Structure 1
Amino acid sequence: MKKIKIALADDHNLFRKGMASVLSQVPDFELVLEASNGQELIDKLTRRMPDVVLLDLEMPVMDGIATTEYIRENHPDVKIIMLTMHDEDRFVLHLLEKGVSGYVLKDADLDEVEKAVHKVMDDGVYLNDFVSKVMHRKMVNKTTVIKQSSTTTLYNSKVLLSEREKEVLKLICEGLSTAEISEKIFLSPRTVEGHRLRILEKTGTKNTAGMVAYAFKNNLV
């Protein structure tokens, strides 16, 4: 069984050691490196490249956002799951736009962490209930503002998606996998993936997480 290689960066030693111990309980996970801040993580990436990075948002020397920007620029295939105590709406879309594939609160249990890692590996993004509710609130608020202002010009008016692409995008934003979308709308997985790639191209986003953030921010769903 091929193991998913994981890196963990958090400046709180007790939390990091505890998380490392928890991760070691998952049979198909392999913790390949630990770091106490973003700079230390980046320095260690030259020794062993992970599949997924579990990254603390607030760290000294180099925080989670700066580290995300570096990884996205230099190692775009590495998936990033942000670990944080912050459950504020303002962080979520910003982090997804930066290229974070998932957002998990630090008080989550092992099952959610395990699910998040598998989901970002399989589908490129993990949208838990908290993130989905944040996005829904953003969408409702944005729609209200648009209705109240006749002078508002939507950037998404420049993005012309077909009805099928809109349908696929909506299901991706609901957290469905390619296989689940395929079964739901009676298309082959290859065709669904083709739609996903065209949506990425049309929205100018680099990964599924960024595409989801773009969709909600620009009222595409």
Structure 2
Amino acid sequence: MDPIKVAIADDHQIFRKGVILSMRSYTEFKFVLEANNGEELLANLAEAAPDVVLCDLKMPVKDGIDTTKQITKDYPHIRVIILTMYEDERFVGHLMDCGAAGYLLKSTDPSEIKKAILEVMKTGFYLNPFVNKVLVKKNYSRQKFNPTLTTEIVVTDREKEVLTLVCLEFTAAEIALKMDISSRTVEAIKDRMMERFGVKNSVGLAFFAMKNQLID
């Protein structure tokens, strides 16, 4: 099995090198790109073709927020994991809405970074206790979420089942197997719900479902 290709963008070279060095023993990964800021990352992204990007928030020239938006727009197959010192719940919700697949603090142990990368490659997102805490905070429910429904949110039994499995971090293929339907049908159901709820990916679906109590 080929190693997962990882890129890292952070304007602090010592931290950047430290992350790479701390994960050197994990043969599942191969670092293919280092960047000092978002602009440098984006300029080399197509050539490096990473599967996952570890991205800082505060960087010169182009910050992590704008960089995440650009990556999820132009390279939707690349998973972005935010790796930052900002322990601010407002950033978590906003970055997830922008399409980030995970949010980690720079104090995170390398073993959790490894776990996060593997999870986003498997399920599309990684929800650690810090991110989960945001889901139950009232201040997140007050943030602008841009849903398309202004009245009571209604989901079918099949949509509810898909939402439940998405929140349990099952992949589309695993959901299809459990529900005895095709992966294409699962993706179609997810696409319809993402359009209705005004979210961009499985992370957004999970947040929306939990925030609006659409699942048991």
Bin the TM-score by the shorter chain: 0.7 to 0.9
Any conservation in 1 of the 2:176–2:186 contact (CA below 8 Å)?
Answer: no
Distance between the aligned counterparts of 2:105 and 2:26, measured in 1? 19
Any residues of structure 2 matched to 1:149-168 within 5 Å, and which? Answer: 155=149, 157=151, 159-168=153-162
Residue of 173, 192, 199 corresponding to 2:193: 199
Matching residue's letter, 2:112: E
Matching residue's letter, 2:117: V
Matching residue's letter, 2:77: D
Distance between the aligned counterparts of 2:85 and 2:150, measured in 1? 32
Deviation at 1:131, TM superposition (A): 0.8
SS of residue in 1 equivalent to 2:65: helix
Which residue in the other structure is 1:147 paired with? Answer: none
Which residue in the other structure is 2:88 paired with? Answer: 88
The change in CA–CA distance for 1:55 and 1:197 in structure 2 (over 3 A counts) is same
Distance between the aligned counterparts of 2:202 and 2:193, measured in 1? 9
State the TM-score, normalizing by the size of structure 1: 0.81
Q: Point out where structure 1 has 5 or more consecutive residues left out of the alignment.
A: 144-153
Any residues of structure 2 matched to 1:205-216 within 5 Å, and which? Answer: 205-216=199-210
Deviation at 1:12, TM superposition (A): 1.1
The change in CA–CA distance for 1:171 and 1:130 in structure 2 (over 3 A counts) is farther
Choose between structure 1 and 2: higher helix proportion: 1
Q: How many residues were matched structurally?
A: 208
Residues 10-51 of structure 1 show CA distances to partners (whole Å, capped at 9, x for unaligned) of: 111111000011232211101000011111111111321111
Matching residue's letter, 2:162: V
Any conservation in 2 of the 1:81–1:100 contact (CA below 8 Å)?
Answer: yes
Percent identity, please: 43
Q: Point out where structure 2 has 5 or more consecutive residues left out of the alignment.
A: 143-147
Deviation at 1:63, TM superposition (A): 0.5
Deviation at 1:127, TM superposition (A): 0.7
Distance between the aligned counterparts of 1:197 and 1:129, measured in 2? 27
Deviation at 1:199, TM superposition (A): 2.6
State the TM-score, normalizing by the size of structure 2: 0.83
Any residues of structure 2 matched to 1:131-146 within 5 Å, and which? Answer: 131-138=131-138, 142=141
Deviation at 1:142, TM superposition (A): 4.4
